[in-house]
Structure 1
Amino acid sequence: MSNRSFPTEFLLLPFADTRELQLLHFGLFLGIYLAALLGNGLILTAIACDHRLHTPMYFFLLNLALLDLGTITTTVPKAMANSLWDTRAISYLECTAQVFFFFFFISAEFYLLTIMAYDRYIAICKPLHYRTIMANRTCVNMAVVTWGSTFLYAVLHTANTFSLPLCQGNALDQFFCEIPRILQLSCSDVYLREVGLLVFSICLAFGCFVFLVLSYVQIFRVVLRMPSEQGRHKAFSMCLPHLAVVSLFISTGTFSYMKPPSMSSSSLNLFLAVLYSVLPPAVNPLIYSMRNQELKDAVWKVMTGAFPERINCLSS
């Protein structure tokens, strides 16, 4: 194949044309990235070090924090580097890695949010069976299946996407390498194969979405019938942060991929991509710790160094 079919590099969509705005973008993204590192890092450390948080709910939250760190690290550092050095280029191998890791982390996060909804459903609707259903081994198996299946899924999508010949140039209408933008460069009907895989992915995601909705319908039916105000408050404290994160993730991602073609523009694509790929990893730690007193106390202990020095943070 010629270099025309497989370019050696791609050109990403810049955030700004002037040097001043490029540096402003670099500073803004640096602040968001550091906030995401700090927030998710504190949650990881707090959950690992506080034995009170060694429960299924916080185990899944720990996995979510890892996925958030992976998602934002996949896209933001390269965008910051391009703004700082006034360039748009990303190599073919870098683009391949970015597509793989982004699809992997985003897919795993959505399926993990679905599992977390199931955990909350069992905790509130079937509390007497919670310890039996959500046993430690079951939770670990769920996490392993999520990470392993989405890893293989990302390999399949990445290999399929980059096996397509590209003859529509090498300029991507996005600030990072994204499968739909790469498919726009394809010059062969073979791209329909990847489109078919994406449609299958959307069907799976829709199934998870239906499960999420049904779970929360049942949860709120049970919560609203609770006679104790304290019980309702505890249940809402457990569910509302997760519901807020799910709503943010699904609404921004869905609108980004399902918006009408007539609404498509470079600036809108850029804005929506920031919303669903950069904003959630940065604000998720704040959302989860806002109403959760246990997590806030554990994070405060991490920040003030209040944990005993001999504590084994990796023990269960």
Structure 2
Amino acid sequence: MCGNVQAFNCGQLWDYNSDTDAKIALEKAIQNKERIGLGCISTLIDKNFYSSAEYLFNTYYKKRNLSQKAIYEFRSAMKNTSKHMDELEKLGMRQKTHYLERSPPTKWAQSLDEIEIEVKFSLRHGVPGCINAYDLNINMTRDSLYLSAFCIEGGIKMKYVLDIKLWGTIDPEESEWEKLGVGEISITLAKDPTPARWLTLCLDEKPDNLVLWFEKHQMHAYRLEEFEDDEFDEYEGWDIENDEDDEEEDRIKSQKAKKLKAEVKEEKKTKTKTKKKASKKSKKSKKSKKSNKSKKSKKTKKTKKLKKNA
């Protein structure tokens, strides 16, 4: 039976940009009863995915009596990480005029009119931005975006650089940027011409740490899908399930339910009015009959009296 159990590939954890994504992958693997090797702990520690490492230890290794081996693997990985950080710090102290360069964690989404980008000056997605970023430089041209900033991380001078050759063209004059929270900026690129649907963001190779902004993408997914003025269908994010369709469907259902409720209410109101009218008419009819009967009785008595006197 053990030979048929599928093994989880720890190497795929390197592809995830956040601790949350890695944890979701591990949850799925555990649900599918895949065999997860102890090497995954080292990978998670190297990626600084401590939440996923804790989840894996408590949910998987502990229940399989592998906790001691997992602890050994964890300590070994932490020792290597600590050694690596010490080396980086020594390098930084030795060469203060030099810096380490890397791509900042960046996410993007598009509407038919704009490209929305959020950049964080940090080592990876899911962690706070650098509190002392400086020398921010942003340059936008018709077909490119370049930004850079310096930051001191744990005594190490970092230079974050995002250099993108854009897939489409923009209007630099109408494009803008602003600072958000600590170590974060937002960039809005005005597409030109519009409306337009871009195949992707980058014409050349995609930088490290660049991901699709899922939440923003969903806001525009319906209009992007309906757009027909280009020659491609499989743009980046085209296969992501569109929540806007579900929202539209729910809205229509809600409107129909409200309309039906109003109709039923009106129908009940009409029936009540009709019933009251009929009841009133019935009472009036009974009263009229009673009055006629009384008059007839009086007339009969009067006739009998006249006959008797005659």
Task: Verify same fold: TM over 0.5.
Answer: no
> Larger % of helix: which?
1
Q: Which has the higher contact order (CA 8 A, sep 6+)?
A: 1
Give me the TM-score of the superposition, normalised by structure 1: 0.26
**TM-score, scaled relative to structure 2:** 0.26
Q: Which structure's CA Rg is the greater one? A: 2
